[in-house]
């Protein structure tokens, strides 16, 4: 996948496609494209894959863009932030949170990823079901705000607030822990639970989750309406 990134804080990935090349995109991700790019809407691998994406927070259908001649396909983010291209290999799969997947090479498989512990599913802000990207090729993911990366050593842990984890290598494990201390729970403003990721592997943390941003704006509007 040959892409250049434009737009600064409002990013778009401009992908150059050779004749016959195809890219699979999340529904609604296309911003613009040149003549000779054909769109095909499909289930992205059958009913099982379709409903799996629905459970993980993605759209039911996927759009496949095929270049009938060399051209460009531009893929836009849904919120201010960054778009990152990540190369997937048979030895390196990644797990991403719901809503962060944008596009992939056809040789990359998108499937659902179940967190190992049931408590993570019911209480974790990252969601019980996330997305696994495996195979051999490139993928595009979107990141709200900026991104901070860490390479965790085996057994090394990082505690992350709800919604901030955007990507981890599938060699990492994820768990949910309850915040300790009643005063911290009632007045700390961090909710009841945090996400704990354990290495080895790389993680990406986004600096301004859109869910958090929207929640802050809603609280400000509600407070203003009460005056």
pLDDT of residue 193: 72
Instruction: List strands edge to edge, sheet with 108-114.
Output: 108-114, 129-135, 94-96, 165-169, 201-206, 147-152
Confidence (pLDDT) at 214: 67
pLDDT for position 48:
53
- The tens place of each residue's pLDDT in the chain, 227 residues long, gives 899 999 999 999 999 999 999 999 988 899 999 999 999 987 655 555 555 555 545 566 789 999 999 999 999 998 899 999 999 999 999 999 888 999 999 999 998 887 655 454 444 444 557 899 999 999 999 999 999 999 999 999 999 987 899 999 999 998 877 666 555 444 444 556 778 999 999 999 999 887 766 666 766 777 677 66
pLDDT at 99 (0 to 100): 84
Q: What is the pLDDT of residue 168?
A: 96
Which domains, and CATH codes, for the chain?
Answer: 2-225 (3.60.160.10)
**Residue 6, CA distances (Å) to 112, 163, 186 in order:** 30, 25, 43
For residue 68, the model assigns a pLDDT of 96
Decide: 64 and 22 in contact? Cβ < 8 Å. yes
């Amino acid at each position: 996948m040959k892409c250049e990134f434009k737009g600064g804080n409002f990013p778009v990935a401009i992908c150059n496609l050779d004749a016959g090349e195809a890219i699979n995109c999340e529904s609604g991700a296309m911003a613009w494209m040149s003549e000779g790019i054909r769109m095909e809407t499909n289930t992205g691998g059958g009913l099982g894959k379709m409903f799996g994406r629905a459970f993980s927070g993605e759209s039911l259908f996927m759009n496949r863009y095929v270049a009938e001649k060399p051209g460009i396909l531009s893929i836009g983010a849904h919120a201010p932030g960054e778009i990152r291209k990540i190369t997937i290999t048979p030895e390196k799969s990644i797990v991403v949170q719901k809503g962060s997947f944008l596009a992939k090479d056809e040789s990359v498989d998108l499937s659902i990823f179940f967190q190992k512990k049931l408590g993570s599913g019911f209480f974790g802000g990252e969601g019980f079901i996330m997305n696994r990207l495996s195979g051999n090729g490139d993928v595009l993911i979107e990141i709200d705000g900026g991104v901070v990366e860490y390479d965790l050593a085996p057994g090394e842990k990082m505690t992350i607030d709800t919604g901030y984890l955007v990507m981890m290598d599938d060699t990492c494990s994820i768990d949910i822990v309850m915040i300790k201390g009643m005063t911290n729970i009632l007045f700390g403003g961090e909710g009841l639970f945090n996400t704990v990721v354990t290495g080895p592997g790389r993680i990406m943390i986004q600096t301004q989750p859109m869910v958090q941003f929207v929640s802050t704006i809603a609280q400000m509007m509600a407070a203003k309406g009460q005056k």
